[in-house]
């Protein structure tokens, strides 16, 4: 961990730390959360690339749309295998965790954003 001044700490730093934690944490049994972690890592890596290219509004819009699409898929039971449900839940939760860093309202008020 680099000891940066907090005014130099970026969203990219947050995502990189979440990736590191997901890959190395020993708090939970990895086997129990393997599918969740796979989904989280997929989302974090996608967001890491987008952070480098997008402005805030583009980024938030893109990921809110992804969450909405996932919500519809969950409602329609598009995922039937437990592995897929866990993986997409991890993906969804990772996106929400980063959107909350941008603005905490994204945890609660996603429908009113766009």
pLDDT of residue 114 exceeding 50, the answer is: no
Q: Tell me: pLDDT of 113 over 60.
A: no
Please name the residue that has the structure tokens 């940066």. Answer: 4
Tens of pLDDT along 14-46? 999 999 999 998 888 888 899 999 999 999 999
Task: Give residue 110's pLDDT band: very low, low, confident or very high (50, 70, 90).
Answer: low
Report pLDDT for 111. 58
> By C-alpha distance, which of 55, 39, 51 is closest to 94?
39
Written as one string, the DSSP assignment of 60-72 is: HHHHHHHHHHHHH
How far apart (Å, rounded) are the C-alpha atoms in residues 47 and 112?
22
Q: Which residues contact 67 (CB under 8 A, 6 or more apart)?
A: 92, 95, 96, 99, 110
**Reported pTM:** 0.88
What pLDDT score does 26 carry?
A: 83
Q: If you average pLDDT over every residue of the chain, what do you get?
A: 91
């Amino acid at each position: 961990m680099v000891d940066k001044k907090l005014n130099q700490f970026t969203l990219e730093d947050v995502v990189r730390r979440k990736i590191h934690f997901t890959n190395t944490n020993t708090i939970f049994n990895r086997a129990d959360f393997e599918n969740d972690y796979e989904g989280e890592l997929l989302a974090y890596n996608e967001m890491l690339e987008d952070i480098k290219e997008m402005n805030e509004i583009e980024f938030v819009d893109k990921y809110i749309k992804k969450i909405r699409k996932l919500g519809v898929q969950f409602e329609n039971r598009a995922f039937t295998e437990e592995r897929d449900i866990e993986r997409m839940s991890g993906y969804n939760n990772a996106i929400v965790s980063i959107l909350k860093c941008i603005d905490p309202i994204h945890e609660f008020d996603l429908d009113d954003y766009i």
